[in-house]
Amino acid sequence: MAFRSNSPIMLALPPFRGVTRRIILIALCTFFGFAIMGLYSGDLMGSTNNLFLLRPLSALHRQIWEFLTYPFAGLGLISVLFALLSFWFFGSALEDERGPRWLSEYFLVTTVAGGVMASLLSLATQGHIKGLRPEESAVAGMWPAVLALVVAYAVLHAEQELNFNFLFKLKAKYLAAIYVLFYLAMALTAAERFGALVALCNAGVGYGFLRWAPRRGLRVAVSERWFAVRNSYYRAKRRRAAKKFTVYMRKQGKDVSLDADGRYVDPDGKTRDLKDRTWMN
């Protein structure tokens, strides 16, 4: 559901589909997988969960997959539930508006780049800030990704009013501020400063992505740029071949005319239709 009008929007369960559904299902499967694993062996669950957590020292040296897996490592039922519900609401709205490719790219960029940025900042503190020491820092859960989605929605629909079951109305920009401040308050209260840093970095990367990335996403822009370079190469190659052909025909005592792109031009100055090959016989 795309929220584009200026009238108040009633928050309701959006369609469960697309990239949003796949990400939520992966998170649920991971959560219940850890829960079942914990029933058999708490040590096994703990060691496996440690492979998903984002820890600056291990992620920047050998376990680089942690930059992508930490959103799926949440263990608290209530936290996971509310995070996935929020992801469902805002992820579905953004996916309907900008498309599944854009949403998947936004999720990957904010998750990975935000994690890398927070890890580098943690290392840069050199252990002087308690709670940000690289050997003590770790974060897990979907909340940093959720905050990035909320920021994206607030940037795109700052003045959009959301109606909470007819009880009160709240503009999207204020809702984003409440989400960010509430998460930061909870993280700092629980002495999870690295988690708060990761959330801020994800939100910052998301804001930068919206401001500077192409409208249809980085992948489409890179693809278009690649095809433009490739086509330029083939045009240059065709012009070189046309020049050689012209020189050869002159040595045979015949003059031919070719345009700037290497296409044959009639003596009267008209460019031949590329589909018309009768002149070749």
Q: Measured between alpha carbons, how far is 135 from 59 in angstroms, rounded to an integer?
A: 11
Contact 217, 102 (CB under 8 A): yes
Write down the pTM of the prediction: 0.74
Q: Measured between alpha carbons, how far is 280 from 168 in angstroms, rounded to an integer?
A: 76
Please indicate whether residue 217 or residue 29 has the higher confidence score (pLDDT).
Answer: 29
Beta pairing partners, 271: 265
Domain boundaries, given as residue ranges, for the chain: 9-213, 221-280
Segment 113-145, tens digit of pLDDT: 999 999 998 888 766 666 677 777 888 889 999
Contact 214, 102 (CB under 8 A): no
- Name the burial class of residue 185, with classes exposed (0-12), middle (13-18) and buried (19+) by CB atoms within 10 angstroms of its CB: exposed
For every residue of 217-244, DSSP letters joined together read: -HHHHHHHHHHHHHHHHHHHHHHHHHHH
Q: What does the pLDDT read at residue 223?
A: 60
CATH topology of domain 9-213: Rhomboid-like fold (1.20.1540)
How far is the CA of 26 from the CAs of 20, 40, 77, 107, 198, in angstroms? 10, 22, 15, 14, 21
Segment 30-65, tens digit of pLDDT: 999 888 888 888 788 888 888 888 988 888 888 899
Packed helices 143-156 and 172-189: angle between N→C axes, nearest 10 degrees? 160
Segment 137-184, tens digit of pLDDT: 888 889 999 999 999 999 998 888 777 655 667 888 888 888 888 888
Dihedral of CA atoms 22, 63, 145, 119 in degrees, nearest 10, equals -170
**Token output for 86:** 């929020």
- Name the burial class of residue 5, with classes exposed (0-12), middle (13-18) and buried (19+) by CB atoms within 10 angstroms of its CB: exposed
Question: Which of 67-81, 101-115, 148-162, 224-238 has the largest mean confidence?
Answer: 101-115
Contact 74, 140 (CB under 8 A): yes
**CA-based radius of gyration for the chain:** 27
